[in-house]
């Protein structure tokens, strides 16, 4: 039987591809420090669990394709606090930010089209873009330049007749880079001038560590037809397993087309939408505590990484990842060795290998993305293990 | 901004497209009898709600992309009872049967490919097939022949070099038709001889009213590489809002490719998988009671329909829909009139218009799919309203 050539062009996720091996390693009694996946260990706030207990419908019925009003209104309330007025039909609930990405790409892309985005980028973007028949046109960025990309010449060099959108992740994954208001406005202007979309993945919005202003693409009047925002409760409220997000746009034609996907798969989950609506009632102070903890973790990780000779990394301004180059030949080979042949006191580490974070061939082979989503002492220990491992690997 | 030509080729779901109008109608104080959507009113069994209350993880974390073991094992236990042995990696959890369809089509189809399926079919198949760049090649079926299609000549007439799969819904939606074991074996043989997949959407498996044997595509040894089963808790346990289903196949290469979609969107929802696992512990007696109630509803609807002059329908053997031709010029126009210009004692009806259930142009214009998922007295009243409406509409 023939399978889809588009699917065969896609790769497994570097965040998850080693999971089967990791399972076997744990069965051997080895402890793995998981730096591979952005799964916060922060407790999901109580309102979510209370909503589960309080769910009193007799039938767990389909939600409307357009979403459960309580959830839509919760999202509206959240955006209202940053001065963005949304109507219910400018928001569609999705099964996580992940599904918002899938449906957005499926709605705007045809075969041969391109999406311009800075690299390194979140690898799962590539799968959804590829399945829509299109490809990523990367704006190369470099740790030495703090992953800078918001420059007219650099961006416009990537735009051609196949371009349907510019895509920014703000704060960035894996780079942690943040667009200043002026930079975001530049991206909006470029998109508008070229009559293309600006898709803003803003799921890490609260994770900004030096108090920089972080604006949403929705906060700039005059770009309503161009802006599509991808949002989610996953990182904001440590509710990754709820699979609740949304796609937001004031472009009515876009939303009308996306609705076809929503109706096709009927609805997002009922209980999770209701429980997520409850999360949006959290006091904003909640974010202060979470941010402080993550800042500590980031600082711990970066300080420890800088102790390892040959490691190159920056200080990410947001999100919860550090992208770094390791002094090894091949991160994938190194990761396999870390699982199958190495342990330090019965402990080892798992990270996400860097090559799938790039569209430019050859980039990222010795790079890794490390998530600082475990507690600071464990982070310190994990990077100590990494240091020991690098030395052993290079002298094996 | 340009949007995807593939998405623009898709239609809105006939089950849901009138929802915005229906909302306005209700605001005017008119009651709508919903015959448009397969949303059972059967209470979701208690174990689901108990699982919500008992959920005691502190973090609502990502499930594995490969699924929560308790859910996978629940599905295995269910299939074991019909003699099908499955390993965990022959099952992938999905966000409803809907997502299982999306990912299956995305995994096996390329641009220009075809999927052979009997028409009338469930319209949302067309959207997912179209987004994968392919099209449906229909096997025309007719109420006068009891929607018969499992004939070698008829099926093979539809197969060509572009064909990647034959797709059957068993029991059928909207037809309620059921493949006998011999007919299912014939479909399997044809698929195997042509080296294509046989995709079996079996989500209505329990809804069979005359005790006919209903076999799964998985129950026939020797077709492991060809069979893909789409399954779901939605209808089986009246848990449509949980959005929990699965794709099942013993074709390892297919499952390896589908895993890319699973990793790309990270995971299915955690709480809903756990609650669904609890549902699978229900005593099989549960299904007897549900079936008896649905048989009553089917019989009520069919008897009432046959009282309306000019209505043509069969007696569906399974699922919970009746497909019927109405003596009106255009079902879509008639539905709009039913919402905007008609009521009988402040009541009206909503159904799913038939044209999108067909791939053959021109078919289904005066046909509708009626769901018998409301209680029998309401069904009787709804069809009485329909009778009155048809007469008024034709004499307006």
Q: Please report the residues numbered 231 through 250 in chain A whose beta carbons come closer than 8 angstroms to any beta carbon of chain B.
A: 238-243
User: Are residues B37 and A62, on separate chains, in Cβ contact within 8 Å?
Assistant: yes
Evaluated on CA atoms B21, B23, B28, B34, the torsion sign reads positive
User: Are residues A16 and B65, on separate chains, in Cβ contact within 8 Å?
Assistant: yes
Residue of A nearest to B44 (CA): A59
Question: Count of CB atoms within 10 A of residue A87's CB?
Answer: 9
pLDDT over 70 percentage in chain A:
100
Task: Please report the DSSP string for B318-359 in residue order.
Answer: BTTEEEEE-SSS-HHHHHHHHHHT--SSSEEEE-EESGGG-S
Mean pLDDT for the stretch of residues B174-184 = 97
Per-residue pLDDT tens digits for B275-289: 999 999 998 888 898
Here the contacts of B349-352 (C-beta below 8 Å, separation 24 or greater) are: B349/B32, B349/B33, B349/B35, B349/B382, B349/B385, B349/B386, B349/B389, B350/B18, B350/B22, B350/B32, B350/B33, B350/B34, B350/B35, B350/B36, B351/B35, B351/B36, B352/B14, B352/B15, B352/B35, B352/B36, B352/B37, B352/B123, B352/B174
Of residues B17, B59, B133, nearest to A41 (C-beta): B59
Whether pLDDT at A211 is above 90: no
pLDDT grade for A1, boundaries at 50, 70 and 90: confident
SS3 assignment, position B126: helix
SS3 assignment, position A226: coil
CB-based contact, B114 to chain A, within 8 Å: no
Per-residue pLDDT tens digits for A287-319: 888 999 999 999 999 999 999 999 999 999 999
Per-residue pLDDT tens digits for A112-128: 999 999 999 999 999 99
Of residues A60, A95, A195, nearest to B242 (C-beta): A60
pLDDT grade for A67, boundaries at 50, 70 and 90: very high
Q: Which residues contact A88 (CB under 8 A, 6 or more apart)?
A: A66, A67, A69, A72, A73, A76
Of residues A6, A44, A60, nearest to B59 (C-beta): A44
Question: Between β-strands B227-232 and B197-201, what pairing exists: parallel, antiparallel or unpaired?
Answer: parallel
At residue B383, the pLDDT reads: 98
At residue B71, the pLDDT reads: 98
CB-based contact, A276 to chain B, within 8 Å: no
Interface test with B, best of A65, A235, A265, A279 (most B CBs within 10 A): A265
Mean pLDDT (chain A) is 96
Mean pLDDT for the stretch of residues A235-261 = 97
B247 in Cβ contact with B258 (< 8 Å): yes
C-alpha distance from residue B215 to each of A200, A248, B83, B249 (Å): 48, 44, 10, 16
C-alpha distance from residue A13 to each of B48, B65, B81 (Å): 32, 10, 35
Q: Which residues contact A141 (CB under 8 A, 6 or more apart)?
A: A118, A119, A120, A147, A148, A149, A175, A177
Per-residue pLDDT tens digits for A251-274: 999 999 999 999 999 999 999 999
Q: Please report the residues numbered 183 through 222 in chain B whose beta carbons come closer than 8 angstroms to any beta carbon of chain A.
A: 195-197
CB-based contact, B224 to chain A, within 8 Å: no
Whether pLDDT at B211 is above 90: no
- ipTM for the whole complex: 0.96
At residue A83, the pLDDT reads: 95
**CA–CA separation, B356 and B354 (whole Å):** 6
Q: Which helix (H) or strand (E) holds A347?
A: strand A347-350
B223 in Cβ contact with B196 (< 8 Å): no
pLDDT grade for B152, boundaries at 50, 70 and 90: very high
Q: Please report the residues numbered 7 through 36 in chain B whose beta carbons come closer than 8 angstroms to any beta carbon of chain A.
A: 7-8, 10-13, 15-17, 19
Phi-psi group of A238: left, alpha or beta (phi > 0 → left; psi -120 to 50 → alpha; rest → beta): left
Tokens of residue B300, six digits: 């009520």
Which positions in chain A touch B16 (Cβ < 8 Å)? 65, 263, 266
Per-residue pLDDT tens digits for B27-62: 999 999 999 999 999 999 999 999 999 999 999 999
* Residue ranges in chain A assigned as alpha helix (H): 5-9, 19-27, 46-54, 69-80, 96-108, 124-131, 152-156, 181-193, 252-264, 270-279, 285-305, 331-340, 376-394
B44 in Cβ contact with B272 (< 8 Å): no
CB-based contact, A321 to chain B, within 8 Å: no
Whether pLDDT at B212 is above 90: no
Tokens of residue B127, six digits: 């959207």
SS3 assignment, position B63: coil
SS3 assignment, position B274: helix
**Burial classification of residue B336, based on how many CB atoms lie within 10 Å of its CB (0-12 exposed, 13-18 middle, 19 or more buried):** middle
Q: Which helix (H) or strand (E) holds B292?
A: helix B285-305
At residue B303, the pLDDT reads: 98
Question: Count of CB atoms within 10 A of residue A189's CB?
Answer: 16
Residue (of B130, B188, B127, B110) closest to B155 by Cα position:
B188
User: Are residues A1 and B225, on separate chains, in Cβ contact within 8 Å?
Assistant: yes
Tokens of residue B229, six digits: 């089963």
At residue A285, the pLDDT reads: 87
């Amino acid at each position: 039987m023939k399978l889809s050539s588009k699917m065969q062009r896609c790769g497994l996720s570097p965040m998850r591809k080693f999971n089967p091996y990791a399972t076997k390693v744990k069965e051997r009694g080895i402890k793995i420090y998981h730096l591979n996946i952005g799964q916060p260990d922060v407790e999901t706030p109580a309102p979510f669990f209370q909503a589960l207990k309080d769910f009193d419908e007799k039938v767990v019925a389909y939600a409307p394709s357009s979403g459960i009003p309580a959830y839509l209104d919760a999202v509206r309330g959240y955006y209202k606090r940053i001065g963005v007025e949304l109507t219910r039909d400018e928001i569609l609930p999705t099964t996580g930010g992940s599904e918002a990405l899938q449906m957005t790409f499926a709605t705007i892309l045809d075969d041969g089209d391109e999406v311009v985005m800075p690299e390194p980028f979140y690898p799962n973007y590539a799968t959804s873009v590829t399945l829509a028949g299109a490809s990523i046109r990367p704006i190369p960025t470099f740790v030495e330049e703090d992953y800078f990309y918001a420059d007219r010449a650099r961006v416009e060099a990537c735009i051609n007749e196949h371009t349907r959108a510019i895509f920014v992740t703000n704060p960035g994954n894996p780079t942690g880079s943040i667009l200043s208001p002026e930079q975001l406005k530049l991206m909006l202007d470029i998109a508008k001038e070229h009559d293309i979309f600006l898709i803003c993945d803003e799921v890490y919005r609260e994770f900004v560590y030096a108090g920089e202003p972080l604006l949403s693409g929705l906060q700039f009047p005059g770009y309503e037809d161009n802006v599509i925002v991808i949002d989610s409760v996953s990182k904001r409220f440590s509710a990754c397993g709820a699979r609740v997000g949304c796609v937001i746009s004031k472009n009515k034609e876009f939303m009308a087309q996306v609705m076809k996907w929503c109706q096709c798969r009927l609805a997002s989950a009922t209980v999770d939408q209701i429980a997520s609506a409850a999360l949006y009632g959290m006091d904003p102070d909640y974010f202060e505590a979470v941010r402080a903890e993550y800042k500590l973790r980031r600082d711990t990780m970066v300080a420890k990484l800088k102790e390892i000779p040959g490691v190159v990394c920056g200080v990410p301004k947001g999100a919860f990842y550090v992208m770094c180059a390791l002094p090894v030949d091949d991160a994938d080979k190194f990761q396999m060795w870390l699982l199958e042949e190495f342990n330090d006191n019965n402990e080892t580490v798992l990270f996400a290998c860097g090559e799938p974070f790039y569209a430019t061939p050859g980039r990222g082979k010795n790079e890794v993305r490390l998530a600082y989503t475990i507690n600071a002492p464990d982070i310190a220990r994990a990077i100590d293990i990494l240091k020991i491992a690098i030395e052993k690997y290079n002298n094996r």
